[in-house]
Homo-oligomer: A and B are copies of this chain.
Amino acid sequence: MSKALEVFRAEELYAVGKPPIYEGERLREIAFPLGGIGTGCVSLSGRGELVDWEVFNRPNKGFALPYSFFILWARAEGQAPLTRVLQSPPAPPFSGQGGGSYRGFGFGVTRESGSGLPHMRAARFTGEFPFAEIEFQDPKLPLEVTLEAYSPFIPLNADDSGLPIAVLRFHLRNKGTPTVQVSLAGSLFNPIGYQGSGPLVNEHLGQNVNEYVDEGGVRGLSLTSRKYPAEAPVFGSLALTTAWADVACQPHWLRAGWFDALHEFWDAFSAHGTLPEHTYGPSEEGKSDVGTLALRATLQPGESVTLPFFLTWHFPHFTKYWQGAGQKCACSERPTWRNYYASQWRDALDVARYYAANEERLYRQTRDFHKALFASTLPPYVLDALSSQASILHSPTVLRLEDGTFYGFEGCHAESGCCEGSCTHVWNYAQAVAFLFPSLERSLRNADYTYNLREDGRMCFRIQLPLGSPLWEFHAAADGQLGGVLKVYRDWRLCGDDEWLRGLWPKVKKALEYAWTQWDPDQDGVIEGIQHNTYDIEFQGPNTMIGSFYLGALRAAEEMAQHLGDSEAMVKYCRIYESGRARMERELFNGEYYIQKYDPAKAPKYQYGEGCLSDQLIGQWLAHIVGLGYLFEPEHVRSALKAIFERNWRSDFWEHGNPQRIYALNDEQGLLLCSWPRGGRPAFPFPYSDEVWCGIEYQVASHLIYEGYVEEGLAIVKGVRARHDGYRRNPWNEFECGSHYARSLASWAVLTALSGYHFDLPHKTLGFAPRLRADDWCSFWSTNSGWGTYSQQLGEGQGEATLSVAYGALELETLLLGGIMRRVKGVVTLDGQELEATIWPRGGRLRVHLKRPVHLSEGQTLKVKLLW
């Protein structure tokens, strides 16, 4: 039996189905990010709390706004009213957490989230990013209550996917026979003045203004402050609004001591569903207020209603808070700039009005994406791996700079980005941005080649903010710098924009050829010098981890040179590639996998030598994704991938002695970064070698699938997601060196690998070669111009392939179909209209060539009917 099947039943690996429903203990760790790309976010917990308020321009795990919760009052005719905080009950432990004065550990469950009030009795959470849904259960309540939460996420439309909003749609249904009156109250604390991390400090509050507003199609609470001028770093606004007409609003809770404010709120609301009135001016120094917006409705038996809340924020100024953070430099000395979103909306209310005005479209297009993705026949945990990690784009790992440039940390410390600069070697692994928001991905390339490249070709691997700041003084990262060439090639193939390519080309060449001064001075195609890399140390001597990046870069550059007519470069890159490939095959393949040869006298500590490195063919993986094919001998590649799986994937960690960081343990499954099955482990192997990184697991899993080891690849993916089960870890937060770690965006390659996705937009060509369930397949595709689904059904003597455009458009001349190797007859139609085409097998795929390229518009479907 295969090792994969020793751990997972075939049915578990292959069955189609829905992503998991989280209940009970599995709700514990859930925090589902709500927000836009580059706006920060607030997360929805498994219980229904709003947690991790990271809207203040930096990560801020564990921070919650006090008293900012939703509570439902319902009175069935003739019965006593019931009131429920719309959360499942607080879960143990109940001792309280953390420090503080008269709070924290030893003071019980925090009362500021309404924990002391009656709750719904249970929650069932489903998360299919960008949508989260919680079905609340309560035996006494005469209503069915479901919360649908999301933020607009529309691939290719980065701006509408970058709204600083969390939309909370409460669906209520009267399940009983009496008429039910409801009042659904959302409360929000006015935190304006908050510094973005650490506890709320009184001295930052004061002159906070809570107002009821009703204009531009929305009504509700506007929270601002008069204490800070518009240019102050903490300046900003929050709003809790609705498009619902029947509302009540209490801009201020009672200003009083002890527990009186919540006391008064609870007494009135629980008795009558009403909100006490208080007329106050701006808050006193050191204080602020909670306000409440209540949506009211009457439901006849069986009637349903959707009560929507729009939580919007607008904190326009981004401060480079990590500048001089170690030296305790004054905040005022830190550079600031405006968030891209701040250039689009004036304040939080403006965002709400924009959303309300476009709600139908934004919701529909986000749903369309969700439908297109989840229509797939992929196993549910694969869909989960794809969709959940796309949420990184709504997390504080991601910024958009003033000019719209996409920028990423690697991940997030609890209270700051970790680490800065769109780190090229970490973002090498990430694929989702390139496929879902190609223009954002290209903005990364543009910034990289504009701001990180030195005259001699050496590149910084961390871009310094604000853009144009002096370059970072440190090693170049060999993997990051060479990976960049492959990424340019990928991004050009996804958009077909020759002008863009032409503009970058001289810089790309310079960056590639820097290898000849530093890493491969003898230009034999084998990297030998000191190679800083993603393990934060320097490899020395020939190895295929950096070597495969180098070969891939040479091949990609050769292709681009050819396209641009730079034949001198083309020939030279080709020659060096061939030489390097031959020598690496000769010297580094040990009969099972590829090793490193280093010189103990010259090498720094921390090499891998004879080890079986999970990243040993990462450049080959990228080459597959971007369509370059094999860089190395295919049989060796397959052997090495099999070895990585067999040697490094652990079915449990009970006997694993790991002095390093701990990302998989006990009965979990995971892929080690390296092992030494044939001995030769250095006394001090490279740091991280004993660890398990999700991003590398996706890299290896998708590469295994590219090599035909589908079962092995799926087992790795399933292992990763099983570790993120809501109880052990948050399904929407795969971390490594911090939360929402960008490397996990590699999960998107599992889709390209399983669907055998081929994109060559310069030649108006798309292709699919499903590696699983080829007779009944459906999956998502995307390019720079549109996205949709591809499906195929293969039966006895006939088959059908269908390409639909759900969003945008597609210029198509050639469609490559994999897994259909015979000679066939075929008919191609566009929305039923036949198109002239020739169909023949070539290179392992069926080539469907249209006589005239077609423009597929949104909603259109191209069908290929095949007979054999």
User: With the chains together, A109 CA to B660 CA distance in Å?
Assistant: 11
Find out whether the CB atom of A414 lies under 8 angstroms from the CB atom of B98: yes
Q: Can you identify 6 A-B contacts, CB atoms within 8 angstroms? A: A106-B738, A116-B658, A116-B660, A118-B657, A259-B659, A270-B657
Closest Cβ of chain B: how far from A682's Cβ, in Å?
11
A662: B residues at CB distance < 8 A: 90, 94, 108-111, 115-116
Q: Chain B nearest CB: distance from A773 CB in Å?
A: 33
Interface residues of A in 96-135 (CB under 8 A from B): 96, 98-102, 104-111, 115-118, 121
Q: Which of A341-349, A723-731, A833-841 lies at the interface?
A: A723-731
Whether B95 contacts A729 by the Cβ 8 Å rule is: yes
Task: Tell me which residues from 229 to 273 in chain A have a Cβ below 8 Å from any Cβ of chain B.
Answer: 256, 258-260, 262-267, 270
Residues from chain B with Cβ under 8 Å of A266 in the complex: 657, 659
Q: Which residues of B contact A265 (CB under 8 A)?
A: 659
With A95-B730, A101-B413, A108-B661 as given contacts, are A118 and B655 in contact (CB-CB < 8 Å)? Answer: yes
A96 to B739, CA, bound (A): 10
- Beyond known contacts A94-B665, A111-B659: 7 more, CB 8 A cutoff: A61-B99, A94-B728, A102-B737, A108-B661, A108-B662, A116-B659, A265-B659
Interface residues of A in 379-438 (CB under 8 A from B): 411-415, 418
In the complex, are the beta carbons of A659 and B411 less than 8 A apart? Answer: no
- CB A258 to nearest CB in B, in angstroms, measures 5
Chain B residues near A474 (CB, 8 Å)? none
A75-93 at interface with B (beta carbon < 8 Å): 83, 89-90, 92-93
CA distance A62 to B690 in the complex (A): 27
CB distance from A558 to the nearest CB of B (A): 38
Which of A90, A418, A659, A729 has the most chain B CB atoms closer than 10 A to its own CB? A659
A108 contacts which of B61, B663, B684, B730 (Cβ < 8 Å)? B663
Main secondary structure of the interface of A (DSSP, over half): loop
Contact: B93 with A658, CB < 8 Å? no
Q: Determine whether the beta carbon of B106 is less than 8 Å from that of A411.
A: yes
A96 surroundings in chain B (CB, below 8 A): 735
How many copies make up the complex?
A: 2
Distance from A822 Cβ to chain B, minimum over Cβ atoms (Å): 50
Residue of B nearest to A109 (CB): B662
Q: Are B735 and A107 interface neighbours, CB within 8 A?
A: yes
What residues of chain B lie closer than 8 Å to A28, measured between beta carbons? 92-93
Query: Is the C-beta of A160 less than 8 angstroms from some C-beta in chain B?
Result: no
Q: Is B738 a contact partner of A29 (Cβ separation < 8 A)?
A: no
Q: For A62, what are the chain B residues with a Cβ–Cβ distance below 8 Å? A: 98, 105
Residues of B within 8 A of A727 (CB): 92-93
Q: Given A108-B661, A109-B665, A414-B106, are A729 and B94 also a contact pair (CB < 8 Å)?
A: yes
Per-residue contact bits, chain A 715-728, to B (CB 8 Å; 1 contact, 0 not): 00000000100011
Taken residue by residue from 655 to 682, chain A's Cβ proximity to chain B (1 for < 8 Å, 0 otherwise) reads as 1111111110110000000000000000
How long is the Cα–Cα vector from A270 to B659 in the complex, in angstroms? 12
| Contact yes or no, A665 B263, CB < 8 A | no
Complex Cα distance, B261 from A683, in Å, reads 12
The reply to whether A99 and B259 form a contact with Cβ atoms under 8 Å apart is no
Contact B106 A739 (CB under 8 A): yes
Most B C-beta atoms less than 10 A away, residue of A83, A90, A657, A735: A657
A744 within 8 A of B: no
A95 and B657 contacting across the interface, CB-CB below 8 Å? no
**A687 is an interface residue with CB less than 8 A from chain B:** yes
- Known interface pairs A116-B659, A659-B111, A735-B107. Does A89 touch B665 (Cβ–Cβ under 8 Å)? yes
Which A residues are closer than 8 A to B by beta carbons? Answer: 28-29, 61-62, 83, 89-90, 92-96, 98-102, 104-111, 115-118, 121, 256, 258-260, 262-267, 270, 411-415, 418, 606, 654-663, 665-666, 683-684, 687, 690, 723, 727-730, 733, 735, 737-741
Q: In the bound complex, do residue B106 and residue A657 qualify as a contact, i.e. CB atoms below 8 Å apart? A: no
**Bound: A260/B728 CA distance, A:** 28
- Whether A115 lies near B665 (C-beta < 8 A) is yes
Report A641 CB to chain B, min CB distance, Å: 27
Is A735 in contact with B118, judged by CB distance below 8 angstroms? no
Check B659 against A106 for contact (C-beta < 8 Å). Answer: no
Q: How far is the CB of A142 from chain B (nearest CB, A)?
A: 16
In contact, A659 and B263 (Cβ under 8 angstroms) = yes
Contact A90 B666 (CB under 8 A): yes
**Once bound together, how far apart are the Cα atoms of A730 and B108, in whole Å?**
12
B413 close to A106 (CB less than 8 A)? yes
Instruction: Give the 8 A-B residue pairs with the shortest CB-CB distance, closest first.
Output: A106-B739, A116-B658, A262-B659, A99-B414, A106-B735, A92-B728, A106-B738, A263-B659
A265 to B, closest residue via Cβ: B659
Task: Name the residue on B nearest A727 (C-beta).
Answer: B92
With the chains together, A163 CA to B165 CA distance in Å?
58
CB pair A90–B606 under 8 Å, yes or no, is no
A109 to chain B, nearest CB (A): 4
- How distant is A106 from chain B, measured CB to nearest CB, in Å? 4
Pair B661/A111 contact, Cβ less than 8 Å: yes
List of B residues within 8 angstroms of A728 by Cβ: 92-94
Say which residue of B105, B655, B658 sits within 8 Å of A61 (CB atoms): B105
Q: What separation, in Å, do the CA atoms of A105 and B418 have in the docked complex?
A: 12
Central interface residue in A28, A656, A662, by most chain B CB within 10 Å:
A662
Closest beta carbon of chain B to A166's beta carbon, Å: 21
User: Chain B residues near A115 (CB, 8 Å)?
Assistant: 662, 665
Cβ A111 vs Cβ B29 within 8 A = no
Closest to A261 in B: B659
Residues in chain B near residue A656, CB distance under 8 A: 116, 118
A83 to B102, CA, bound (A): 43
Contacts of A29 in B (CB 8 A): 92-93, 95
Contact of A259 among B100, B411, B687 (CB under 8 A): B687
> Shortest Cβ distance from A751 into chain B, in angstroms?
26
